[in-house]
Structure 1
Amino acid sequence: DFVFMEQNKAKVFVNSPNAINGNSQDKNDFSSAKFQSESTGLVDFIGTESEIISGIRELISVLPANNEDDMSYIECTDDLNRLTPELEGRISDPALALNIISDSGYVLEVKKNFAKEMFTGFIRLNGNTVGVVANRRALYDENGEIADEFENVLSHQGSDKAAGFVEFCDAFNIPVLTLVDVKGYKATKCSEKRMPKAGAKLTYAYANATVPKVSLIVGDAYGSASLSMNSKSIGADIVFAWENAKMGMMNASEAVKIIYSKEIDSSEDIKTTLEEKTREYENLQNSAVYAARRGYVDDIITVADTRKRLLAAFEMLFTKKEDRPYKKHGLI
């Protein structure tokens, strides 16, 4: 289920780096822990031997033994009604945001070196293990400085990473929380080759999962990319949205250029007209209130109430049981 790899001595390969035409181990060591964790996604955790042993113990303590085991539950000593007003300033990096949401700040990130724009990991809510998938805009270092920034789009690597994680959580009956902030798909030649199937795989993983599924829209939720991130359309049990969240088929500034193209072109002040139409479109089509009216969002919540509302949602869904028609397995 999870792969640990010693960061200096361990080697993993199908073909030796020296056996690949035009390559050598000194040039590109495809067998190293760095390559396997950052480029292939094969390895979930890397570290020294002592760090690996400690990591295995921690992971085992978080995970249930099987899909019917509830022994991973621990007593929660954190305030269940604790307010989280500081959350909005840290939401660009889910690792920091979840540190505020989770019981006593517990966060265990999985595949942290692979597809960094997509966060996958475990937290605890009221003592229960919860799997989390989240879009990431920024990565902060130990000093609180921005180490890397990302566009809030789905890549094929991020989609594969999230899909595999959701499937694992479903297999072990672990509830899934999704923090949504996505505006579309990554626009590269490589993504065009792989994104259609990767996107379908992510959508299928969510739709096929029968565990409690809760989503929180914290930023953008545009187009079909947002539908793949545990939307109501594919079976989310509860969808929350922050008051400043934006949802719709496309970004307002791009939409008005299409819808009001003639009016904008004939305007004496194109910039002012464009800004007015953009604000009008956002309020009427892309606001959290509009999405709630259409049934895409169950409730609009404040940033400060995030932890207690998520806790209440998973508490309500604790006994969820979903029976499906018998079949051997799905295919995607």
Structure 2
Amino acid sequence: MHGKHALENYQKQMEQIQAEEEIKKDKQRHKGKYSARERVEMLLDPDSWTEFQQFASGSLSDKTLVNDGVIIGVGTIDGRKVCVFSQDFTVAGGSLGEIHAKKISWLMDLAADMNVPLIGLNDSGGARIQEGISALEGYGQIFERNVKYSGVIPQISVILGPCAGGAVYSPALTDFVLMVEKSSQMFITGPKVVKAMSGVAIEAEALGGAYMHASQSGNAHLTAISEEEAFKKVRKLIALWTPQTHHIKAPQKTSLINLLPAHHKKSYDMHTVISSIIDEDSFLEIHEKFARNLIVGFARLNGRCIGIVANNPKVMAGCIDLDASDKCARFIRFCDAFEHPILVLEDVSGFMPGLQQEQAGLIRHGAKIIYAFAEASVPKITVIIRKAYGGAFVALNSKAIGADFVYAWPGSEVSVMGPEGAAAILYSDQSQKSKEEKMNEYRDQFADSRHAAQKALIDEIIHPDDTRKRLIMSFSLIQSKKRSILKKKHGNMPL
């Protein structure tokens, strides 16, 4: 009878949990949102979810907090195992208490032991004030694991509601942050605190909304217009990292010969170059709205995931500034940590000149790019599309700092500076007509990529339409690349 009685108690507990789940769904639906459990079901493959510690509970004012505001478990995305936690805003505002933190910390350890990605569905008001320093200690335990497992397992944060205070620092320590437009925010102090402290009234969206973080602060790597789209993007990201050996779709046959404008100062769409090289519809751009003068993202090339870095001539002529430097360096380091080969599509006139950039530390930020490429030991290939001038040529994966192959399209230019700048300095006392003649002379005698090829700084000048074929062949040659690393604790990156 004892066993029967225990089973009845268990069934009552499960019925109570299910009844509370229905109430939670109704609460979230009124806000146009999904419950913590519905979100997990939308993200993962059907029937792949296994939950852990669902009876672990906290308390608040003598009220039991079932699950303590977070559910944790393991599931699959396209068959690949992932660990997921989903915060429940209907339980004490999703606030983090002692048990809440223990559950997430335990899952992070499990993800590391399993060597699988960790995905956090964040919807939390921050530390549970009623638990005081115990809640703060809980955040510390999570932060420590964010750092310890950085570069060990991919960590993805999906922001699905207002996240404030300590709730934003863990996402900031993860590899990728995805926010939902108009429903998710991140800020250290919310609008009410800002107004109380400074007297300035500001809307939550302006202070920490998805658009602000995607376009200005750079804290959001991806955005979505709905939770459904957010989960689709996470699924695509995970799927891209998984090697594919079947159903490889090459791009539609598009000639790249006439892509570049006749005049070297006119812009063109680098996305067209990317889509004409990679497997069909496989590109997922990261940080699309931030530092738009540089493009970074993941794609498949002949079924294998690669990281792509490309200058964007349509924005600031593809120059490298402070934000582009940070964007590039961090993406390169992620690719290197998780063994994704790197492709650079280069069309750069240099680092952004100007007083504001210099005062803000462009030298230090630009050095991050050099550090990241020189440190990376994965296969690295550069294709110079139109131009590569000055220090930017060296920084963007030149052979001098470790590129395995550097290719160039016919007519591309590689030089200490652009012909315009060189003519202005070398022939400053001559007429404008003479300067133009000298500029063309400089371009032909010193800047044409043929001269760099003669000095073995470029491995081959290739026909644009042969780019995909050449890249597939080249990456296959170095896919098992091994490079000895000097034994040291770690380098000191110019942060």
TM-score (norm 1): 0.87
1:98 and 1:105 in contact (8 A); partners too? no
Amino acid at match of 1:41: G
CA drift of 1:8 comes to 1.3
1:13 matched to 2:187:
yes
Correspondence for 2:243 among 72, 94, 97: 72
Amino acid at match of 1:29: A
Amino acid at match of 2:277: I
SS of alignment partner, residue 208 of structure 2: coil
CA drift of 1:19 comes to 3.7
2:251 and 2:280 in contact (8 A); partners too? no
CA drift of 1:104 comes to 1.7
Correspondence for 1:255 among 413, 418, 422: 422
The runs of 5 or more residues in structure 2 that have no matched partner are 1-174, 262-266
**Alignment-derived partner of residue 182 in structure 1:** 348
* Identity percentage of aligned residues: 33
**Alignment-derived partner of residue 200 in structure 2:** 23
1:210 and 1:322 in contact (8 A); partners too? yes
1:80 and 1:311 in contact (8 A); partners too? no
CA drift of 1:85 comes to 2.9
Cα deviations by residue, 1:269-289 (Å, 9 ceiling, x for unpaired) = x23322222122111110010
1:80 and 1:308 in contact (8 A); partners too? no
2:308 and 2:342 in contact (8 A); partners too? yes
Rounded Cα–Cα distance in structure 2 between residues aligned with 1:152 and 1:181 = 7
1:214 matched to 2:390:
no
Q: What is the total number of aligned residue pairs between the two structures? A: 309
1:181 and 1:217 in contact (8 A); partners too? yes
Rounded Cα–Cα distance in structure 1 between residues aligned with 2:252 and 2:480 = 21
What does residue range 20-169 of structure 1 map to in structure 2 within 5 Å? Answer: 20=194, 21=198, 23-26=200-203, 29-47=206-224, 48-63=226-241, 71-75=242-246, 77-78=248-249, 84-85=255-256, 88-89=259-260, 92-138=268-314, 149-169=315-335
CA drift of 1:244 comes to 1.7
Amino acid at match of 1:290: H
- Structure number with greater CO (CA < 8 Å, separation at least 6) is 1
1:95 and 1:107 in contact (8 A); partners too? no
2:284 and 2:298 in contact (8 A); partners too? yes
Cα deviations by residue, 1:124-173 (Å, 9 ceiling, x for unpaired) = 111000100011022xxxxxxxxxx4322111100100100000000000
SS of alignment partner, residue 184 of structure 1: coil
Rounded Cα–Cα distance in structure 1 between residues aligned with 2:389 and 2:317 = 13
Amino acid at match of 1:88: L
CA drift of 1:261 comes to 4.0
**Alignment-derived partner of residue 143 in structure 1:** none
> Structure 2 vs 1, CA of residues 36 and 27 (structure 1 numbering), >3 Å: closer, same or farther?
closer
Moved over 4 A (4+): 79-83
CA drift of 1:73 comes to 3.0
Amino acid at match of 1:44: H
**Alignment-derived partner of residue 49 in structure 2:** none
Cα deviations by residue, 1:246-280 (Å, 9 ceiling, x for unpaired) = 11011112212322445x2xxxxx23322222122
More helix by proportion, 1 or 2?
A: 2
1:316 matched to 2:477:
yes
2:251 and 2:277 in contact (8 A); partners too? no
CA drift of 1:89 comes to 4.5
CA drift of 1:186 comes to 1.7
CA drift of 1:199 comes to 0.5
Amino acid at match of 1:271: Q
The runs of 5 or more residues in structure 1 that have no matched partner are 64-70, 139-148, 265-269
Rounded Cα–Cα distance in structure 1 between residues aligned with 2:187 and 2:303 = 39
Rounded Cα–Cα distance in structure 2 between residues aligned with 1:55 and 1:206 = 27
1:82 and 1:307 in contact (8 A); partners too? no
CA drift of 1:231 comes to 1.1
Amino acid at match of 2:482: K
2:341 and 2:380 in contact (8 A); partners too? yes
TM-score (norm 2): 0.59
**Alignment-derived partner of residue 66 in structure 1:** none
CA drift of 1:80 comes to 9.3
Rounded Cα–Cα distance in structure 1 between residues aligned with 2:268 and 2:470 = 20
Rounded Cα–Cα distance in structure 2 between residues aligned with 1:93 and 1:180 = 13
**Alignment-derived partner of residue 280 in structure 1:** 441
Cα deviations by residue, 1:30-56 (Å, 9 ceiling, x for unpaired) = 211111111111111111100011111
1:172 matched to 2:338:
yes
SS of alignment partner, residue 488 of structure 2: coil
2:285 and 2:295 in contact (8 A); partners too? yes
Rounded Cα–Cα distance in structure 2 between residues aligned with 1:152 and 1:202 = 15
Cα deviations by residue, 1:85-138 (Å, 9 ceiling, x for unpaired) = 367259833323211111124211011111111100011111000100011022
> Structure 2 vs 1, CA of residues 292 and 33 (structure 1 numbering), >3 Å: closer, same or farther?
same
Q: Which moved more, 1:118-127 or 1:167-176?
A: 118-127
1:191 matched to 2:357:
yes
> Structure 2 vs 1, CA of residues 312 and 82 (structure 1 numbering), >3 Å: closer, same or farther?
farther
Rounded Cα–Cα distance in structure 1 between residues aligned with 2:328 and 2:199 = 34
Amino acid at match of 1:75: H
